[in-house]
Amino acid sequence: MSSIVNIQGMNKYFGDHHVLKDIDLTVDAGEVVVIIGASGSGKSTLIRCVNGLEEYQQGALEVDGQALAVNGGHQQALNIIRQEVGMVFQQFNLFPHLTVLENITLAPMKVKGIAAQQAQETAHRLLERVGIGNQAQKYPTQLSGGQQQRVAIARSLAMEPRLMLFDEPTSALDPEMIGEVLDVMRELASEGMTMMVVTHEMGFAREVAHRVVYVHEGCIVEEGKPEDVFDRPQNERTQAFLSRVLKH
């Protein structure tokens, strides 16, 4: 299998704060990697580096064969990467002035130059796929949080990404809506989408992940198959973290 994401010796600083420390991580095509860790551990920053929303200062990062330079250099590679990497945010970040349909068709039409009608057909098909086929003409604020997040997933899928990044996609949702979003992600994973998921949903991680990565204070301290990480954590940091989050 070829790797889609290849991170080597990556370091990132926010001023004096050393956020990511010597990160080595590869993600293969079709692989689902779930990144867990406490708040502030750097796990969100890590996946935000993958599509250049955050710059890094040392090391190397390659996404789908494109090298993303340190300090945000090489704008051209960044543009290519962003077209091939989808991202789903904690706060959905739908465009409130556009309808659900327009949210989904905007990028395919403006970035790829796809004709309006074809973009709309794709959008309708994607909305069906995420289970909200009848909401196309509504505005985001007219939808529930769970529905909004599913639109956000459809919006990313419309660009036919090679890799999907999920940055705590269910953290802003009411508990009763978490399931519907995880279902969509589960289905995506089963269809072979390459995914990097930052989440606190340990049940999802255990069930869907091919690999779990535990991040502590900017370092990857443990990674492995979910059953190994969850049932037989080797690092004492991981053990402490898991005993805290799995108790509930």
Residues forming contacts to other proteins in the complex (CB under 8 A) are: 51, 53, 79, 82-83, 85-87, 89, 91, 93-97, 106-107, 110-111, 139-141, 152, 155-156, 159
Judged by beta carbon, residue 148 or residue 238, the one nearer other proteins is 148
The conformation of residue 74, written as its DSSP 8-state character, comes to -
Q: How far is the CB of 226 from other proteins (least distance, A)?
A: 27
Judged by beta carbon, residue 146 or residue 233, the one nearer other proteins is 146
Q: How far is the CB of 242 from other proteins (least distance, A)?
A: 30
Judged by beta carbon, residue 97 or residue 247, the one nearer other proteins is 97
Q: How far is the CB of 138 from other proteins (least distance, A)?
A: 11
Closest CA to 203 of 217, 219, 186: 186
Q: How far is the CB of 100 from other proteins (least distance, A)?
A: 12
The conformation of residue 71, written as its DSSP 8-state character, comes to G
Question: Are the C-beta atoms of 91 and 130 separated by less than 8 Å?
Answer: no
Sign of CA dihedral 213, 219, 241, 236: positive
Closest CA to 109 of 118, 98, 96, 100: 118
Give the neighbor-by-neighbor strand order of the sheet with 211-216. 85-88, 163-167, 194-198, 32-36, 211-216, 219-224
Q: How far is the CB of 238 from other proteins (least distance, A)?
A: 30
Judged by beta carbon, residue 136 or residue 242, the one nearer other proteins is 136
Judged by beta carbon, residue 139 or residue 223, the one nearer other proteins is 139
Judged by beta carbon, residue 103 or residue 238, the one nearer other proteins is 103
Q: How far is the CB of 173 from other proteins (least distance, A)?
A: 16
d(CA 35, CA 221): 11
Question: Are the C-beta atoms of 230 and 202 separated by less than 8 Å?
Answer: yes
d(CA 163, CA 142): 29
Question: Are the C-beta atoms of 76 and 127 separated by less than 8 Å?
Answer: no
